[in-house]
Amino acid sequence: MPPSSPAPTSDPPRYRGRFAPSPTGPLHAGSLVAALASWLDARAHGGGWLVRIEDLDPPRTVPGAAHDHIETLARFGMESDEPVVRQSERDELYTAAHEQLRRHGLVYGCACSRSDIASATQAGARTPGVYPGTCRAGTGGRPIRAWRFRVQGSVAFDDRGGGRLLQDLERELGDFVIRRADGLWAYQLAVVVDDAAQRITDVVRGADLLDNTPRQIALQRALQLPTPRYLHVPVVLNERGEKLSKQTGACALDRDDVVAELERAARHLGLPRIGATTAAAFLRSATAAWAARLAREADSGAG
């Protein structure tokens, strides 16, 4: 008899990363840190890098900001490897995911306001802000204000930077909103659906989003979607110790001093001074530095 053929092996999927800004104003130093980290990680892994515009909230969207984001990224040498995706154009995908969760009894209508939740948690000696499940069995005839995802148990995951993390969803968070009564989708559901649809293998983003990750993993599991690897990088703070953002007065990036802006972002990420004179030269050297750091981390882990 002929020898049996070797069992087929499935290679890991090619690295696919993304940067997903919200068009609520111009990109700033904090935005650049997240963009650069995700871009360098993708290039150091020999993978692709995508840009997704997270414009789920029309009242907060600034006209022209999305176009400005794309142009600014290009000025800094970072362009999406595929056509840019906009969440405002993906309602059908979110609706399908919501319906899938509903069919499995994992979504329910909630009539509670923020003050209702605050009163209920205080009366029940619960952690402030943790939804106590008031409407799990129905709203009692009150109008629905939002749709919530029914959480169960806890979620643990390994962050590439922070190690093993565990969150008890029921005790520390409670059932969370995935759609508002006005029809607007919550970030948690949209990002999970989009990451799966775009076949994202690695999410590199600011540490301010770290506590969102267990919720997103819970949704991925409920929707039977793959879970990417996560790396959360340090956020940029202002002089008052607040996260740098549009709300805390962050200034737009200086598009006439690209290399200096990139150098500051790289130093924030712990990379050595690059010392390049053009964006292209900077990104080449920074990619090599990022890859060297990955190699050192791999050697350390293997030891």
Residue 68 has pLDDT above 90, yes or no: yes
Is the domain 16-88+254-293 a CATH 3.40.190.80 member? no
Of 161, 163, 160, 135, whose CA–CA distance to 149 is shortest? 135
Looking at residue 215, its pLDDT comes to: 98
Quick one: CA dihedral 265, 267, 270, 271, positive or negative? positive
Give the model confidence (pLDDT) of 99-119 as tens digits. Answer: 999 999 999 999 998 888 888
User: CB count, 10 Å around CB of 226?
Assistant: 11
H or E element at residue 39 = helix 29-44
Q: Where in the chain is the domain with CATH 3.90.800.10?
A: 92-180
How much is the average pLDDT of 183-201?
Answer: 97
Contact between 148 and 107 (Cβ < 8 Å):
yes
How many residues appear in the chain?
Answer: 303
Looking at residue 277, its pLDDT comes to: 95
Name the phi and psi angles at 143, rounded to 5: -65, 145
Contact between 179 and 147 (Cβ < 8 Å):
yes
The set of residues, in sequence order, having a beta carbon less than 8 Å from that of 232 and lying 6+ positions away, is 159, 161, 162, 204, 205, 206, 207, 209, 210, 213
**More confident of the two residues 10 and 40:** 40
48, two tokens: 């692709």
Residue 7 has pLDDT above 60, yes or no: no
Looking at residue 126, its pLDDT comes to: 57
The pTM for the full model equals 0.91
Measured in whole angstroms, the distance separating CA 248 from the mean position of its chain's CA atoms is 20
> In terms of CATH architecture, what is 92-180?
Alpha-Beta Complex (3.90)
241, two tokens: 């110790």
CA dist., res. 257 & res. 39, Å (int): 19
Contacts 24+ apart (CB under 8 A), 154-160: 154/214, 155/214, 155/215, 155/217, 155/218, 157/213, 157/214, 157/217, 157/227, 157/230, 159/210, 159/213, 159/230, 159/231, 159/232, 160/229, 160/230, 160/231
Looking at residue 299, its pLDDT comes to: 84
Three-class secondary structure of residue 64 per DSSP: coil
CA dist., res. 16 & res. 42, Å (int): 7
